[in-house]
Amino acid sequence: MVASVVVNDAGQPICVQAFFADITERKKAEIALQDSEARFRELFNRMSSGVAVYKAVDNGGDFMFLDFNPAAERIEKISKQDILGKRVSVVFPGVKEFGIFKVFQRVRQTSQPEYFPQNIYKDEKDSGSWRENWVFKLGADEVVAIYNDITERKRAEEKLQAAYAQETRLRQHLEEEAQNRIRFIDVLAHELKGPLTPMLTSSGILREILPPDSGSRLQRLTDNIFNGTNLLNSRLDELLEVARYARGAVNLNKELTDTRQFIEQVVSRYTPAIARRNQELIVELAEDIPVVSLDRSRLEQVLVNLLSNASKYSPEGCRILLTVGRRDGHLLISVKDEGIGICPEDQPILFQPYQRVGQEQHKTQGLGLGLTVVKSIIEAHGGKIWVTSKLGQGSTFSFTIPLK
């Protein structure tokens, strides 16, 4: 109720006038507002982001602290009481260089909230802290900054970046060294092959022109030279091949291939070598073997290598199983043997150059390059190769080639 005394022209009271209004709604609204203010205050006090409320002074030439929440006090290590009513340019002398001062001015003028991205604040006391700010305009010429201290995150990021940069440098260095080594191998192998060629042809011719009484001493010596140079030559070829793959200098000559026919050809060519060791090659071809685009001579090299290892590292009389099928859009080929097997520690290193593992390495010939070349060929086709094995029970080498 609002009441007032009504007076006449002479100033004498003549009656009391009262206005009644139902203000229940208004009162409820006021209480609700107080409630919500209390809620916002609670939020302001509890939130983990810093909140600073400023009032523009000097017509936006500076900003004065109106409020500062506990998180902001924690972040800046100053108490609210010490800064309220003070100018931001005094409390934070580095504020202009930091760049947010302009944002305050812009937000005050345009009323458009702005995100002020990660930046580093410095002044005489602070050697560098990272902040991330959101700036809004409030009524009555006030702006509010809500911000986070991201110094720790930034420091961790910087450390990570430094470690990454160091690792990149190291990797580059290693790659350069590896390339140098490959160049060296390449040149060396070529140099060695030079004088080997006349030795190969000469001993070959010598073998042909010698009388065919194979028991003669001269014949045996010639055979020794011929076999030795041949072996040396194929080792050098392996080396050159590895160097070529390592340089990425191999071009695949892919052709659309009837896989079934191709496998049958390879098998018929290679079965005699296996039979010579009294071993049996069993071939399992799935019904739906796809047509695949592949480099036939390279893939034959892969198969022969895996079959030859399966035979080499299995005792006489064993079985070798070659299976061909499809899986998840890939051609899947496996060579399984019942041989000496490979222990778990050795399995991951088999495909690296010059790795020969297990006891048998002293008894069998090889440089340990075969699987390296095999892996390069499969990867050049976009496929993968892996091994599963149990020591003493046998090994299975499997690889895939994508159908498309």
Query: What is the contact surface with ligand ADP in residues (CB under 6 A)?
Result: 309-310, 313, 337, 339-340, 342, 350, 355-358, 361, 366-372, 395
> Least distance (Å) from ligand ADP to the CB of residue 361?
5
Based on CB atoms, which residue is closest to ligand ADP, 36 or 234?
234
Based on CB atoms, which residue is closest to ligand ADP, 44 or 313?
313
> Least distance (Å) from ligand ADP to the CB of residue 194?
24
Based on CB atoms, which residue is closest to ligand ADP, 143 or 274?
274
Whole-number Å distance between alpha carbons of 55 and 33: 23
Q: Residue type for 225, please?
A: I
Burial 364-403 (b: 16+ CB within 10 A, else e): eebebbbbbbbbbbbebbebebbbebeeeebbbbbbbbee
Pairing of strands 114-121, 62-68: unpaired
Based on CB atoms, which residue is closest to ligand ADP, 325 or 368?
368
Whole-number Å distance between alpha carbons of 163 and 172: 14
Q: Which of 293, 290, 289 lies closest to 255 in space, CA to CA?
A: 293
> Least distance (Å) from ligand ADP to the CB of residue 127?
57
Based on CB atoms, which residue is closest to ligand ADP, 150 or 349?
349
189's enclosing H/E stretch is helix 151-209
Based on CB atoms, which residue is closest to ligand ADP, 71 or 318?
318
Residue 79: C-alpha distances to residues 68, 73, 84, 178 (Å): 9, 5, 9, 60
> Least distance (Å) from ligand ADP to the CB of residue 122?
59
SS3 (DSSP) at 29: helix
Q: Which residue is nearest to ligand ADP (CB)?
A: 366
> Least distance (Å) from ligand ADP to the CB of residue 285?
21
SS3 (DSSP) at 356: coil
> Least distance (Å) from ligand ADP to the CB of residue 234?
11
